[in-house]
Amino acid sequence: MNLIKEFNIQIDDVITITGGGGKTSLMFAIGKELSEMGMNHVLTTTAKICVSDVPKNQRIISNDIKEVLKQITENPEKEWVIGKEMVEGQKISGFSDEELEFLHNSLDSFVIVNEGDGSKRKPYKFYNEYEPMIPRLTTKIIHVIGAEVLYQKINDEFFHRSELFGNPEAVFSELVFKKELENFKKNKLDINMSENITQILLINKADGNGFKKAEIMGEIGKSIFDSCFIGSLKEGWIQKC
């Protein structure tokens, strides 16, 4: 997929992935390419990651960030997935801004890839005020949405927290999509983050019948985000809108 080139990933980048419809898959796909390029990195979350998504031999789980740092530096070339604690034996929770800043400042020439959102494995979501959880040191935001949501009813089948939209009979039309992207950018990114952060949109699941929907969504998204891509993580490709 050449994600490193397409997203212009640099050493010392801190990438936060938000949205739904492929965040964890994207995190691991970026990690795989970084490993192949010999770029040291760690994967983490400021939300929660399902334990079942993380091989046991890749986990570092400790509420002591200094212990996490020690284990990383003992084997810096390994792809570690780090977290603070296990939640109900099913999820890995993440670290605070201060802890991630300590880690970032302590590691030399490392990329940090952070999953900053939870969506209950739905293709997209509507946001509470406290979401998403984007670390201050983030340099790139990649906002992900599954192409299948276009023209679907806004209900729990396709949307996490669909009740926040307030109308279960409404349809996720092109106009609704545009307004949601604009609101997300204005209220979640532009207000809270540095203007130097690169804002990237990825329309995932552009395979099969999703391709045309992805093209339509890409035409809308490319005028809102710094850069926009459509693609299929399942099939292993992306292309610029």
pLDDT digits (tens, 9 = 90+) for 187-231: 999 887 888 899 999 999 999 999 999 999 999 999 999 999 999
Q: Is residue 50 predicted with pLDDT exceeding 90?
A: no
For position 100, which CATH number holds? Answer: 3.40.50
DSSP code string of 101-150? HHHHHHSSS-EEEEE----TT-SEE---TT-S---TT--EEEEEEEGGGT
Q: What percent of the chain has a predicted confidence (pLDDT) above 70?
A: 100
What integer pLDDT is reported at residue 191 of this predicted model? 83
Residue-wise pLDDT tens digits, 85-138: 998 878 999 999 999 999 999 999 999 999 999 888 999 999 988 889 899 999
Alpha helices in 119-232 (DSSP H): 174-184, 210-221
Q: pLDDT band at 139, cuts 50/70/90?
A: very high
Is residue 63 predicted with pLDDT exceeding 90? yes
Rounded to 5°, the CA angle 138-8-65 comes to 35
CA distances from 150 to 45, 71, 191, 202 (A): 28, 44, 27, 14
Q: In whole angstroms, give the CA distance from residue 136 to residue 159.
A: 27
* Domain containing residue 162: 3-240
**Residue 59 CA to its chain's centroid (Å):** 19
Average pLDDT over residues 69-78: 96
Least confident of 20-29, 32-41, 124-133: 124-133
pLDDT of residue 88: 80
- Which among 198, 50, 188 is positioned nearest to 132, based on CA atoms? 188
Whether the per-residue pLDDT at 76 is higher than 90: the answer is yes
Q: How many CB atoms lie within 10 A of CB 165?
A: 15
Q: How far is CA 117 from CA 11, 14, 144, 202, 213, in A?
A: 23, 15, 10, 15, 24
Check residue 14 and give its pLDDT: 97
pLDDT at residue 146 in the model: 97
Helix or strand run (H / E) with residue 26: helix 23-36
The answer to whether 81 touches 74, Cβ cutoff 8 Å, is no
Q: How many domains, in total, are found in the chain?
A: 1
Phi and psi, residue 134, nearest 5°? -105, 115
pLDDT tens across 142-201, in order? 999 999 999 999 999 999 999 999 888 899 999 999 999 999 999 999 887 888 899 999
∠ Cα 203 132 6 (to 5°):
35
pTM over 0.85: yes
CA 216 to CA 206: how far, in whole Å? 11
- Calculate what percentage of the chain has a pLDDT beyond 90: 83
